[in-house]
Amino acid sequence: MRKLLALALVSLLGAGCASNTTGVGYYWQSITGHLQLMQAARPVDDWLVDDTAPPTLKQRLANARRIRAFAVSELALPDNASYHRYADLQRRAAVYNVVAAPALSLTLETWCFPVAGCVGYRGYFSEVDARAFADSLDPQLEVAVYPVQAYSTLGWMNWAGGDPLLNTFITYPEGELARIVFHELSHQVVYVQNDTAFNESFATTVERLGGARWLTRSSEQARADYATFDNRRRAFRALTRTTRERLKAIYEDAELQDSTKLQRKAVVMDDFRRQYAALKTSWNGYAGYDPFVTRANNASFAAQAAYDEWVPAFEALFEREGRDFARFYDAVRALAGRPKEERQAALRELAPTAMAVSDAIRP
């Protein structure tokens, strides 16, 4: 889930006395948090000649520079200031997102902002602020707070140096690093207000297609490392997708009382955790999904759905456009310009057998 900062409002805001979790204080923490991130960034070239920079970091930054050039030459992604600088934020996440959903629904609560429109999350640079906001929400809602390693300013800050590479993802395996860069750059190609699933599914499609193309030119070791990483991810997403579908069927069954729905939901959630435990036995001790599973609820399931929902349709559109990225982006822009209902109908037509998720889980 990537967070757009409403930096255009900077002239309207003051520090004031508002809480950092709501109102004016929320925008102020967004602005100051992003400015601090920008100030921490230095050009990649400077890091590469810095005698105090660790050799492993230099190696990863040099690779990131090649990935950035590949994004332009092979994927037709924007050639601009973004991802030519690096910042060490001294923390594990770029931002922390808060999502919420009712106890018997996979529909995310939404919040509306200038420029970004209405989205199914709120982002905070401080984990403390994120959790404070989460605690302030209606206790009947299911809430999740999770770290986000990267976000996009949609190109609005390229004049000031663009979005930087960050310590929060620079250590990822080569294939995953490439995917993150491609994903975030794709948000600068197309962004539609009030349609998180469209935006994130498009970016996920670009990262998958671009990542696969990048790996064909990488080392055998990089491909092997990525295959291990990606196989775990695919297995976990398949499990969460099946779980979402089971929950959705329960929630939408008009013949069931709420008490029965809650009982059946508990069974599904227990089954989800049992299946995950079985899945992990083949992962040689990898526990990266444990935090998600421990806190899994309607909010976290619904947030994840936005990244997967329309991917099959976008992949079909890419094939229709002759696997040409520039033509693909033009076709996506054309879809983006249509009313939301028409846009979703067109996506269903592109991959009808894969559209198993209903409007109920779209943020």
> What are the tens digits of pLDDT across the range 19-76?
456 667 787 888 888 889 999 999 999 999 999 999 999 999 999 999 999 999 999 9
Distance CA 312, CA 13 (A): 42
3-state secondary structure of 103: coil
pLDDT band at 15 (very low <50, low <70, confident <90, very high): very low
pLDDT at 353: 52
3-state secondary structure of 175: helix
CA-wise closest residue to 75 among 231, 188, 230, 192? 188
Percent of the chain with pLDDT over 70: 90
* Average pLDDT rounded to a whole number, residues 192-212: 94
Cβ 152 vs Cβ 184: under 8 Å = yes
Please give the C-alpha separations between residue 273 and each of 156, 189, 330, in angstroms, as whole numbers: 41, 38, 42
The pLDDT tens digits for 233-280 are: 999 999 999 999 999 999 999 999 999 999 999 999 999 999 999 999
pLDDT band at 6 (very low <50, low <70, confident <90, very high): very low
pLDDT band at 116 (very low <50, low <70, confident <90, very high): low
pLDDT at 4: 41
The pLDDT tens digits for 130-173 are: 999 999 999 999 999 999 999 888 888 888 889 999 999 999 99
Between residues 94 and 351, the one the model is more confident about? 94
CA-wise closest residue to 157 among 208, 81, 218? 81
The two tokens of residue 230 are 């990606």
Q: Does 362 score more than 50 pLDDT?
A: no
pLDDT at 177: 96
Distance CA 192, CA 144 (A): 24
